[in-house]
Every structure is written in structure tokens, then in C-alpha cells.
Structure 1
């Protein structure tokens, strides 16, 4: 059941869940996900998964917001891409409960600003713990879609699902 937490997402978790046809997990876990315009622009640059993402936006699960170039934005954009920067800035400025980020540098910056972070694997892991999916199959699908997962991380995630 979705919580009422403020959740902000970067591009990668949304795109990768779309690529493996598991955007349904977002609806199951969150009542709404804030997506900065910069992230939406990155998502709409390609065609893969776009129709499903537009459906989520039209169904109001995804709330597209404008993020201004604040001092924090200017500071962070030197380290990260526009989508990650906008997601982190919005999360900091609105005291988000969770940020969906996959890239290591983005996660590092988000944690530096005391944000709670999870990514596509975390969303899958949450669903696996409630019995909503076969985690190994979904991790394999992610890999097939081009999402890099080290063998060590793959094993650790499967172990966590069994805890």
C-alpha cells in the first residue's frame, strides 16, 4: 500500500522500470512521484518506455514540477547532470522523504544533503519482500535492458530479499 511520503525521482529509476514493464511497482509503493521538468525532458528524449511513462503522468502518478536554478542548483550542477541536480534540489528544498536515484555520484550528493535514497533495485527489492515479483527474474530483465549490476550487488540483493 502506498505511503503518503514525498518522493522525488531522477530519470534512471523511471526509465529502467519502464523498460522492464514494471512501472506498476511505483503505483503500488507511492501515491505520487514528483518529477522535475529536467528529468521529464531527459525521459522524453528517447522513445523507449515513453508511452507507459506518459500514461503514468496522465494518471497523475507523476507530478511534473518546475525547478529553478537556485544557488544549490548551481553548486550541484557542476557535479551531476541536469536531471539529478533538479531532483536533489527539489528534494532538499521540499524536505522529500525519499529520492529515487541510481547513479553513484547522484546518491553521494543526495546523502551529503541528508536525503534518503533508493533506486530501481530498491523498488524491486521492496516488491520482492511483499511477494509481488520474482526478484531474480526482474534483475535479469534489468541487465538485459542495459542496466549494469555487478555480480556482487546481484548476489547481495538476492540475499536481502531472503531476509
Structure 2
């Protein structure tokens, strides 16, 4: 399974001390360079949690479509959508409304932090969703 993530889902789960959910659910996450840079700008503590062998950073091919997307979305979102398309990902983890809408229109299957938490509960990886949502 190929799972690409934007910044929001990873940063939210790190803040909630629940990043383990992504590893347990998906085994491997792929992020574009810009998402990696964004996460490191937010908090240097993220660097330790992101240097795991189950998180892979991949450079996105610069294309006119990426330029177009980055003119209406932030660069991390644009790269995540493009990477999901390039890799024919099974799912893109993204929360921002505009990014979700564009990704869906481009045929990319999406879920966000809430969908991830619900799936984690369904698979008995967490007992409750609500306490994690409260910390966000």
C-alpha cells in the first residue's frame, strides 16, 4: 500500500503523541520534500520522529501542473497531491479543505486525520478517538 501524507496529519498526530498510528495502520508513509521542510519549521522535535525508516522523503518532479497547484495551494499540499498522483498512491492523507477538493477532482483518494483515527479505532489500535481529537 502506498500512502502519501501532507503536513497536517503528521503534525497533528505528533502533537497528540500518536504518530505511531500511521506506522501501525500503513507500515510506510511517503512525504514530499516540502512536507518534510514544513514539519521541521514547525518544531525541531519533529526531526527525531521523522527520521524513522517507515517515513520516506521523495523529491517531486517539477512540472507545470505543480506550478499551477502551488499558485492556489501551499507548496506542501501541492507536492503531496502531485506525489500521490506520480506514485499512484492508494491514499493521500490531507486535511485542508481546498487541497482535499482539488485532490479528489484529480482522482486521488483522500482521508484526513479524523478518517485515520476512525480507522485506527476500527482496527483496535486506539481505544478512543475523542481524547486524541481534544489534544488537537
The TM tier, using the shorter chain, reads over 0.9
2:92 to 86, 92, 99: 99
- Greater relative contact order: 1 or 2 (C-alpha under 8 angstroms, separation 6 or more)? 2
Paired residue for 1:60, among 43, 47, 53? 53
Based on CA coordinates, which of the two structures has the bigger radius of gyration?
1
Select the residue among 25, 40, 65 that pairs with 2:21: 25
Of residues 37, 40, 52, the one that matches 1:41 is 37
Distance in 1 (alpha carbons) for counterparts of 2:127 and 2:78: 31
Q: Does 1:136 align with 2:125?
A: no
**Count of paired positions:** 135
What's the TM-score once normalised by structure 1's chain length? 0.78
The answer for the alignment partner of 1:126 in structure 2 is: 119
Q: Alignment RMSD, CA only?
A: 1.3
Query: Which residues of structure 1 form unaligned runs of 5+?
Result: 143-163
Instruction: Give the whole-Å Cα distance in 1 for the aligned partners of 2:127 and 2:76.
Output: 29
TM-score, length basis structure 2: 0.93
Runs of 5+ unmatched residues, structure 2: none
Q: Does 1:77 align with 2:73?
A: no
Separation (CA, whole Å) in 2 of partners of 1:115 and 1:94: 11
